[in-house]
Structure formats: C-alpha cells, structure tokens
Amino acid sequence: MNSQERYNATSRAAALHVELTALREVIVAEAESLRNAWACGRDAEPKLANLAHYLALRRHDIRPLQRHLMALGLSSMGRLESRVLPTVDAVLAALAVLSGAEGARQSPPAETVFFAGEDALETATTQLFGPYNGTRRTRIMVTLPGAAADGPDLIDDLVRAGMDVARINCAHDDPEAWRAMTAFVRASAAAWGREVKVMMDIAGPKIRTGTVASFEKKAKLQAGDCVRLVATGEPRCDGKIAFSAGVSLPEMVTRLSAGDRLRYDDGKLEAVVESVGEGEAIIRVTRTKAGGVKLKAEKGINLPDTALGLSPLTAKDETDLETVIECADLIGYSFVSRPEDIDLLDAVLARGGRDGRQLGLIAKIEQPLALTNLPALMARASRRGPFGVMIARGDLAAEIGFERLAEMQEELLWICEAASVPCIWATQVLEDMVKEGIPTRGEMTDAAMAARAECVMLNKGDAVVEAVALLDRLLGRMNDHVFKKTPTLRALKSW
C-alpha cells in the first residue's frame, strides 16, 4: 500500500468512525424510549436492553455503512443480534486504530461481554427444553398422537430416536389420555437416562368448521363457488348456495363484514365475504389448490381482516389447565397477542394452585397482532420465568399470506435471538417423511434451515419415529456447519 492509499484508508476509517459513533448515540436514545414503553426502563435486564438496541438499530438502513466497513476488512455488523452494542463498540475500536485517532482509541469489549447474549440464550434453552446432548444444540419436539396413550412402545421409540420434548395437543383426547402419555414419557426418559420435557398445548379459541353440507356429496369447492356459514343450527344448501358449514365459534359469523378475507385449511382455499345476514354469512371462493377443495368438518378457518375480540383462554382451556398444572413442564399458549394475555394465563394458573414449579411458557405466534406486540410480550414474559416462542407457520401463513412467511420467519428468528428467547420452528417440518416415510428435497432443505432455531417440531404420522431419527442426524451435521446466521467453517471432507 503506497502513501496515498494509506491516506485514503485512514480518511475513510475516520469518516466511518464519526458516522458509527453518531449511530450509536441514536440507538441508545431510541432504545431507552422502547424500554420505557415496556415499563422496564434503565434497569432492564441485559437481554431486554439488547432487544431494545436491536430494534432501534433495525429502524435504520445501514447497508451503505456495512459495505464501507467490509471494504476495510471489518465486521459488517450483519451478525449482531445477540450483541448489538458490543459489536458496534468492537468496530469503533478497530476504526479508531485504522484512523490513527489517538483521542478516539478504546479497547474492544472482552470476549465474555461480547458473547454474553449467546450464553444467555443457551441458558434459557436449557431451562426450557432440557440439556444440550452434545451432538446438536437444536432440540426435537414431537406431537403425540392419541394412540400414544394406549401403551409405552411409541413413546419409548421416540425417546430412543432423539425426542427431547413431547407435545400434547389439548384440542384432542382427554385428561385421562394426557396423564397416560405423560406417565409413559417420564418412564421412558428415566429408562434411557435422559430428560424429556412435556409441553401441553391449550387449544384457545381456534375457529374450525362444524357440520358441513353440500348439494352434491362429492362436490369440491372451486373458484367462484359460494358457501353459507351459519352461526347456529344445521348448515343449509339451496339452488343458489350449494355448500354450507357450521362453525365452532358462532360469534365469528356475526363479526364478519363484507370484503373480509377468509382462508380455510391452512390456506388450501381463499375466499372473501360477500354478505352478512341474520345468523349467517355468504362467502365467495376466490382461489383453491389445483382440482378444488373438499368442504370438511374440523378444518381450521383464518380471518386475517376480522377483529374478533376473543379472549385467548376459553372455558375449556381453564378446565384443561388443571391437568396441565398436574402433568406438564411447558404450556403452549395459542392466540396470545397482548402482554395482558400473559397476565390472564398466570391468574388462571394461580387460581388452579400450581404446585410451586415455574411452568415454562411458549407463546405461539400465529396472528398479525402477536407479531406487532412480540417485543412487549417478551418484556412481560421476562418477569415470570422460562419463556420461548413458537413460529406457528401454518396459521401464521394463513394470516399474513404465504409469500410473506419466509421473510417473517427469518425476522422472528432474529428478534428472538436479540432477546435471548428460545425459538421453535413448527408446522409441516418433514411432513411427507412423517406421513409417507420418504422426505422431499424441499422439506429436507427446510429441516436443515430449522437448525438455526432452538427447537424443531414434528407433527404426528405413521413414520414419525423414522423422521425423528433422520432429523437427529441432520441437525447433528448442521450443528457443525452453522450457528444462527454464522457459518462455522468446519473442515470440509468432500474435497
């Protein structure tokens, strides 16, 4: 490098030092406003302070700054989720040396400070999901089928294959079956010398189709067809409306408005509300999967435009929580959207006289309002004990649209890491493998991407044991290649 090149590099470093110093001041000021909004102020614990710093930084487009830093051989700050100010301070220290500005020189953060966020996340993950097994940091959660209550064999096979968390869906089966499943999990974990957690997922006000009817029994819904949704009574078809369905929540029908969108069965069908009458609504199908869609009972309905104003806890949930307190290590909380929803759950648990254990809480992120309020949810949950987030990709895609899901699941991973909150990658992971025994290329790639989360959830299916074993091996290999957004550059063995 000649003298002119050295001068240019020094000048660029000095200018970048000034720019980054100004950005740091802005981040600190904006973060304080966020912490005040969360009612935690300057005394916020480090993970919430870092979350506030991250959100403040991400309000700004720093792509030009990143390119200039890269050209000087410095960190572009593209990997600062768990360490916002330590990363900024490390770059500032390097810029001060490159610029030759003696008065601006500072020591970079100590490694313990720099990696404190990663350590906090690992601690939180262990508290929530159990210990790291030494081969993969990403835990495996499996949804148990009702048949798992009939005997210990299936659960024993799942534990042997690598299951770390057993999920019981309280929308299905009954307390007797849940107790049996829990007992089998505890016994199998003890036999294999492992810690396996039990998560019980309370159903919440999930909207589903009830009884259905169609003018022709085998007819499928196509674009342009109309469906009559009825709040009460039997579904009614006639010469004009050939399809009809009841719904699990009658108030849903009365709160619809013309123009509201509706998605059915995880987005296999999309429709729009044409009219709302006394106790019924007429919807017109706008799009379906190829070949049309059969109208069936017990299929999910999503209403991305409709404010239903429903409590996330139903009367059934409050009853089910008595068994959850008895059996579970973790609670899966559906339809949680506001910080007050966490207080509501804890009030019900307190009335139920929980036995002194601090039950872990998993907030299922499946609605737009939950996305908007996620930082405030994290701030509120930090006061109560172990907490994690589930990216409920099925309902979330149906609410925000499939084309936004890939982007949003990345953002949720980043936000969770910034807050040192463990994250579950859920819905249709290895779906073909679980059901048919052979994975598709696309779902293998999806499962590999899931290694950036702290936990991956598999649904029930005939080949779920084989899927757990495959996922255990895949996550073990990915564990050596990547940590979150950072390639770890293990020695390559193929060349």
- 493 pLDDT band (50/70/90 cuts)? confident
12: its two tokens: 């660029």
Q: Are strands 226-230 and 243-247 parallel, antiparallel or unpaired?
A: parallel
pLDDT in tens, 137-148: 999 999 999 999
| CA–CA dist 414, 214 (Å, integer) | 46
Q: pTM for the whole thing? A: 0.91
Q: Give one DSSP letter per residue of 431-442, joined into a string.
A: HHHHHHS---HH
- 472 pLDDT band (50/70/90 cuts)? very high
| CA–CA dist 457, 79 (Å, integer) | 25
270: its two tokens: 């999309």
pLDDT in tens, 146-193: 999 999 999 999 999 999 999 999 989 999 999 999 999 999 999 999
Q: Which amino acid is at 214?
A: S
- 353 pLDDT band (50/70/90 cuts)? low
Three-state SS across 90-105?
Answer: HHHHHHHHHHCCHHHC
| CA–CA dist 296, 213 (Å, integer) | 9
Residue 40 is predicted with a pLDDT of 76
> Which domains does the chain possess?
3-114 (no CATH), 120-205+311-484 (3.20.20.60), 210-302 (2.40.33.10)
Residue 67 is predicted with a pLDDT of 95
pLDDT in tens, 14-58: 999 999 999 999 999 999 999 988 987 565 688 999 999 999 999
| CA–CA dist 480, 490 (Å, integer) | 6
| Among 437, 436, 434, 440, CA closest to 140 | 434
- 308 pLDDT band (50/70/90 cuts)? confident
Residue 5 is predicted with a pLDDT of 59
Q: Which helix (H) or strand (E) holds 423?
A: strand 423-426
| CA–CA dist 49, 381 (Å, integer) | 14
Beta carbons of 199 and 169 less than 8 angstroms apart? no
Residue 89 is predicted with a pLDDT of 96
Q: Give one DSSP letter per residue of 252-320, joined into a string.
A: HHHT--TT-EEEETTTTEEEEEEEEETTEEEEEEEEESTT-B---TT-BEE-TT------S--HHHHHH
- 198 pLDDT band (50/70/90 cuts)? very high
Q: Is the pLDDT reported for residue 285 higher than 50?
A: yes
Q: 210-228 burial, b for 16+ CB within 10 Å, e for fewer?
A: bebbbeeeeebbeeebbbb
263: its two tokens: 């998605």
The whole-number average pLDDT for the span 235-245 is: 91
Q: Is the pLDDT reported for residue 224 higher than 70?
A: yes
Alpha-carbon separation of residue 335 from 80, 267, 368 (angstroms): 30, 18, 10
The residue whose two tokens read 């550059």 is 489
| CA–CA dist 72, 101 (Å, integer) | 16
| CA–CA dist 415, 379 (Å, integer) | 12
Residue 2 is predicted with a pLDDT of 60
Cβ-based burial of 298 (10 A; exposed 0-12, middle 13-18, buried ≥19): exposed
- % the chain with pLDDT above 90: 77
Residue 8 is predicted with a pLDDT of 80
Q: Which residues fall within 8 angstroms of residue 172, CB to CB, at 6 or more apart?
A: 146
Beta carbons of 284 and 261 less than 8 angstroms apart? no
The whole-number average pLDDT for the span 223-230 is: 95
Q: Is the pLDDT reported for residue 3 higher than 80?
A: no
| Helix/strand number for the chain, H first, E second | 18, 17
Residue 6 is predicted with a pLDDT of 64
Residue 356 is predicted with a pLDDT of 41
Residue 24 is predicted with a pLDDT of 97
pLDDT in tens, 414-470: 999 999 999 999 989 999 999 999 999 999 999 999 999 999 999 999 999 999 999
- % the chain with pLDDT above 70: 96
Q: Which residues fall within 8 angstroms of residue 466, CB to CB, at 6 or more apart?
A: 161, 433, 437
pLDDT in tens, 310-329: 899 999 999 999 999 999 99
pLDDT in tens, 72-122: 999 999 999 999 999 999 999 999 999 887 666 788 999 999 999 999 999
